[in-house]
Amino acid sequence: METLGIGLFLLVIMLFLLTGGVWIAMTLAICGWVGQAFFTTTQPGKNLFSAFWESNASWELAALPLFIWMGEILFRTRLSEEMFEGLSPWLNRIPGRLMHTTILGCGIFGSVSGSSAATCATISKVALPELKRRGYDENLALGALATGGTLGILIPPSITMVVYAVAADASIIRIFLAGFLPGFLLMAIFMGYIAWWSIRNPSKVPPPDAPSTFMEKVKKSGSLIPCGALIVFIVWVLVTGYATATECAAYGVAGSLAIAAYGRSLTWKNFCEGLMGATRTSCMIMFILAGAAFLTKTMAFTGVPRELAEWVNAMQLSPYALITALVVVYLVLGTALDGISMIVLTSAVVLPMIQKAGFDLIWFGIFIVLLVEIAEVTPPVGFNLFVLQNMTGKDSNTVARAALPFFGCLVLCIALVTVFPQIVTWLPDVVMGVQK
């Protein structure tokens, strides 16, 4: 239990630094340094440099600034406004109306980017200013964007799913197929909550637009065609294997620039502003990633994740009690680690426990991805909270409170896939057949 005490000590330091106003990335790095300097025999200086290099020198990470730049282009030209104008007539009769675009946008974009941070940053840049301009509740929008951004790691393709498949020696294709239905289920739960909230709080939702005929709706939707075609193209080349996620991001930037130039809304000024905005946001995210990578090394050296997993294993729990205990463990780890690190550092101990309890490894892969999604919006190291904090100027605790009802939606989704595992296993079994 001494190792768990080290983890608790580092968590207290982290909370103290964050409440004191220290930069998020610096806070993570300082905690990592303290952990290695005082509780391990390794050299923190050498590990600091290697963690910063390894976390940022990644081909997959190259997609992040490109997708963020794509969002900046959509935001700074009239493309985002045109997209909302085209969607507005079709959502006019649904409670919550344009607020649903946050979830739909995150779901669609998440399937392209495979990254929670890129999804959250890009859709927030496009949707948040437009929703505020139209009079929608800002807290609801922040909560929807913080949790909707996590769809980037649930709806395939997903880097987190690939990491789990490698760790579990499972089929990547089956894991990808297993993510679709839970992803759609989670989107439906999010949108259901938005509709319910809007019915309960009619004064916080702008009045509906005047009714329009079907042909008027179709005419207004003409502005959706260019951006819609671009998104369909990006998804198509990715799914068919013609391009990687990074190459798709490059296509997205080129396509956005071409559409904006054709619509004569692209100027040298907004081009430069978009480029600089993407640079600032990307640097912020990558700096935080570097700090988190260093803290992850510290956690690995101190053995906190493994100690937690072994502690649960020693309790000899029943299958569903084991699942409940693992939920608690991963929620605790999510306060200090990113999702991939949670999987890598615990898989050697947790996966044999899961197999012994009789659970399907494909099902557990989606289960753990949903827990990682919760970790993305769990303070103090909820990554999507940091992204929105830096983009909006709001305190991360403010964003966390706004995301709390959607946090409950995530818990509901986890409960449903646990009680009805067929939600996860049906599609891969149908498409690929049941592998005995």
- Domain containing 225 equals 60-283
- In the chain, the N- to C-terminal Cα span, in Å, equals 40
Is 309 contained in some domain?
no
- Three-state DSSP at 283 gives helix
Give the pLDDT of residue 9. 82
Is 231 contained in some domain?
yes
Is 250 contained in some domain?
yes
Give the pLDDT of residue 4. 67
Give the pLDDT of residue 196. 94
Is 233 contained in some domain?
yes
C-beta atoms surrounding 233 within 10 Å: 15
Is 348 contained in some domain?
no
Is 93 contained in some domain?
yes
- Three-state DSSP at 265 gives coil
Q: Can you give the pLDDT of all 436 residues of the chain as single tens digits? A: 467 677 778 778 877 887 777 777 788 788 889 988 888 888 888 888 888 887 777 666 677 788 778 777 876 776 666 666 676 677 777 888 778 888 887 877 666 655 677 677 777 877 888 788 878 888 898 888 888 888 877 877 666 777 787 777 777 778 878 888 999 999 999 999 999 999 998 888 887 766 777 777 777 777 677 777 887 787 677 667 787 767 877 888 898 888 888 878 888 888 888 888 888 877 877 787 788 778 878 877 887 777 767 777 777 778 888 888 888 888 777 766 666 667 766 776 677 778 777 888 899 999 988 888 887 777 766 777 777 887 777 777 788 888 889 888 988 999 999 889 999 989 888 877 654 4
Is 421 contained in some domain?
no
Q: Using an 8 Å Cβ cutoff, are 137 and 201 in contact?
A: yes
C-beta atoms surrounding 239 within 10 Å: 14
C-beta atoms surrounding 243 within 10 Å: 17
User: Which positions ≥6 away from 292 have C-beta within 8 Å?
Assistant: 28, 55, 337, 338, 341, 381, 383
Is 353 contained in some domain?
no
Buried b / exposed e across 61-74, counting CB within 10 Å, b at 16+? Answer: bbbbbbbbbbbbbb
Q: Is the peptide bond before 202 cis (omega within 30 degrees of 0)?
A: no
Give the pLDDT of residue 340. 67
Q: What total of structural domains would you count in the chain? A: 1
Distance (Å, whole) CA 292 – CA 290 = 5
pTM of the complete model? 0.71
Give the pLDDT of residue 381. 62
